[in-house]
């Protein structure tokens, strides 16, 4: 890989570390770089124009590229959860000591400015063997590593990667010890949202279920393994091509659409789910219920009108098309009926009825009646 010299880092002992080193050797695109600086002090970094950003440990932003440069540091467990660490950063901390605190061997490789690989913990061998393996037994000091290991497997499973059995054992230990329960909601959701955007998101949830973490962090999903398997199969069945936050939002909705309202609400509260994700999950669940009624042959105009009301279609018309696309994945004929029902009923406008003299409660009743008639016309053979 190598890096070009620039005045800000000239004379510093700087190494590229972590994901950029790993992904370059996997042939994956590298979007950003993280750097470790050995033998420097915070004062020296500030004098060079670096801006400090970390409160818990010394991380600085490059004055021009704004990439992160962290002083080499060690960590010592001093409490529960992923924040329960005492950080020690000083010019005496070596690169090998800094790399030793990382979670997986393929994340514990570094590269010098000349392109030399520094790999004290066998990351390259594990990368070639397609194995995710912990760097040291201190893996069990940070419960967040359970989620990170699962997320990396969700990224690389298609390349044949597996988690080493001894690492899986440590993941189970973090669950049985109760340490996993000390993770704060924000960190659980951050890792989960990232995993939902990985190529194989179902692997993330399967891995958490296998080690017992899912039952602690998302018990509503873990309660029914058969329903979970079906839900994981839906993660690739989406209404359209999506990426970024929209992809995570739709995959989450598909994951939880089978849960009842109370379970979805409990899960959303536990994870402090963004409102947009919770709202879409509710819309997907309502749409799923509509499809089940259609399968049972009990779907009529009243029920379709209730669905349109429930998803707030009249004020948020942009919600309808994606949900119709969702229906079309398993019931194209039903999607066509719903689309026609929507088009006809949407033509019934409140202002028309106001012009006819309707107001107050009578306006609402007449609006519902005429929309129901429009839907009945759409469903007529």
pLDDT for 192-213, tens place per residue?
Answer: 999 999 999 999 999 999 999 9
Q: 88-95: long-range contacts at Cβ-Cβ below 8 A with a sequence spacing of 24 or more?
A: 89/57, 89/58, 90/41, 91/38, 91/39, 91/40, 91/41, 93/38, 94/38, 95/15, 95/36, 95/38
Q: What pLDDT does residue 56 have?
A: 65
CATH number of the domain encompassing residue 28: 3.30.460.10
The SS3 assignment for 134 reads strand
Task: Provide the b/e sequence for 145-175 (b: ≥16 CB within 10 Å).
Answer: bbbbbbbbbbbbbeeebebbeebbebbbbbb
The closest of 268, 269, 286 to 277, measured between CA atoms, is 268
The reply to whether 190 falls in a domain is no
pLDDT digits (tens, 9 = 90+) for 75-97: 765 455 445 446 677 888 999 99
The reply to whether 365 falls in a domain is no
Query: Could you tell me the pLDDT band of residue 10, with boundaries at 50, 70 and 90?
Result: confident
pLDDT digits (tens, 9 = 90+) for 284-336: 999 999 999 999 998 999 999 999 999 999 999 999 999 999 999 999 999 99
Q: What pLDDT does residue 7 have?
A: 77
Range of the domain at 99: 1-120
The reply to whether 371 falls in a domain is no
Query: Could you tell me the pLDDT band of residue 2, with boundaries at 50, 70 and 90?
Result: very low
**Tokens standing for residue 72:** 């080499």
Can you tell me the mean pLDDT for 108-128? 95
Q: Between 197 and 8, where is the model more confident?
A: 197
Q: What pLDDT does residue 81 have?
A: 46
The reply to whether 83 falls in a domain is yes
CA angle 140, 145, 146 (to 5 degrees): 90
Task: Collect all residues with Cβ–Cβ distance below 8 Å to 165 and sequence separation of at least 6.
Answer: none
Q: What pLDDT does residue 85 have?
A: 46
**Tokens standing for residue 55:** 């409160």
pLDDT digits (tens, 9 = 90+) for 147-162: 999 999 999 999 999 9
The reply to whether 178 falls in a domain is no
Domains identified in the chain, total number: 1
Measured CA to CA, the distance from residue 113 to residue 185 in angstroms comes to: 38
| Phi and psi angles of residue 81, each rounded to the nearest 5 degrees, phi first | 80, -175
Q: For the chain, what percent of residues have pLDDT higher than 90? A: 82
| Phi and psi angles of residue 272, each rounded to the nearest 5 degrees, phi first | 50, 55
Q: CB of 37 within 8 A of CB of 48?
A: no
Measured CA to CA, the distance from residue 142 to residue 82 in angstroms comes to: 5
The reply to whether 66 falls in a domain is yes
Q: What pLDDT does residue 6 have?
A: 75
pTM: predicted TM-score of the whole model, two decimal places: 0.88
The reply to whether 321 falls in a domain is no
The reply to whether 103 falls in a domain is yes
Q: What pLDDT does residue 58 have?
A: 87
Cα torsion through 106, 115, 73, 121, rounded to 10? 40
Q: In this structure, is the dihedral angle defined by the CA atoms of residues 333, 338, 343 and 348, taken in order, positive or negative?
A: positive
């Amino acid at each position: 890989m190598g890096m070009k010299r620039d005045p800000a880092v000239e004379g510093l002992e700087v190494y590229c570390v972590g994901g950029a080193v790993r992904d370059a050797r996997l042939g994956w695109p590298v979007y950003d770089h993280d750097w470790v600086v050995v033998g420097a002090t915070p004062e020296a970094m500030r004098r060079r124009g670096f801006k400090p950003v970390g409160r818990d440990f010394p991380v600085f932003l490059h004055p021009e590229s704004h990439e992160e440069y962290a002083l080499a540091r060690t960590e010592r467990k001093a409490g529960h959860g992923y924040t329960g660490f005492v950080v020690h950063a000083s010019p005496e901390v070596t690169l090998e000591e800094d790399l030793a605190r990382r979670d997986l061997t393929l994340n514990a490789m570094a590269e010098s400015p000349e392109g030399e690989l520094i790999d004290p913990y066998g990351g390259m061998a594990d990368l070639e063997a397609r194995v995710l393996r912990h760097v040291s037994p201190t893996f069990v000091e940070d419960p967040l590593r359970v989620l990170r290991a699962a997320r990396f497997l969700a990224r690389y499973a298609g390349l044949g990667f597996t988690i080493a059995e001894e690492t899986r054992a440590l993941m189970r230990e973090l669950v049985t010890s109760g340490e996993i329960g000390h993770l704060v909601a924000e960190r659980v959701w951050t890792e989960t949202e990232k995993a939902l955007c990985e190529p194989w998101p179902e692997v993330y949830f399967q891995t958490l279920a296998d080690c017992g973490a899912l039952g602690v962090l998302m018990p509503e999903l873990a309660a029914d393994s058969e329903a979970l398997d079906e839900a994981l199969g839906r993660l690739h069945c989406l209404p359209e091509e999506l990426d970024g936050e929209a992809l995570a939002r739709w995959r989450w909705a598909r994951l939880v659409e089978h849960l009842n309202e109370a379970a979805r609400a409990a899960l959303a509260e536990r994870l402090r789910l963004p409102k947009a994700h919770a709202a879409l999950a509710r819309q997907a669940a309502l749409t799923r219920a509509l499809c089940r009624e259609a399968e049972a042959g009990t779907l009529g105009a009243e029920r379709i009108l209730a669905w349109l009301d429930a998803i707030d279609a009249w004020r948020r018309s942009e919600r309808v098309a994606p949900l119709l696309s969702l229906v079309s994945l398993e019931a194209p004929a039903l999607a066509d009926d719903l689309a026609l029902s929507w088009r006809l009923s949407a033509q019934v406008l409140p202002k028309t009825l106001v012009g006819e003299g309707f107001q107050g409660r009578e306006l609402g009743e007449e609006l519902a009646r005429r929309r129901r008639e429009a839907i009945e016309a759409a469903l007529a053979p």
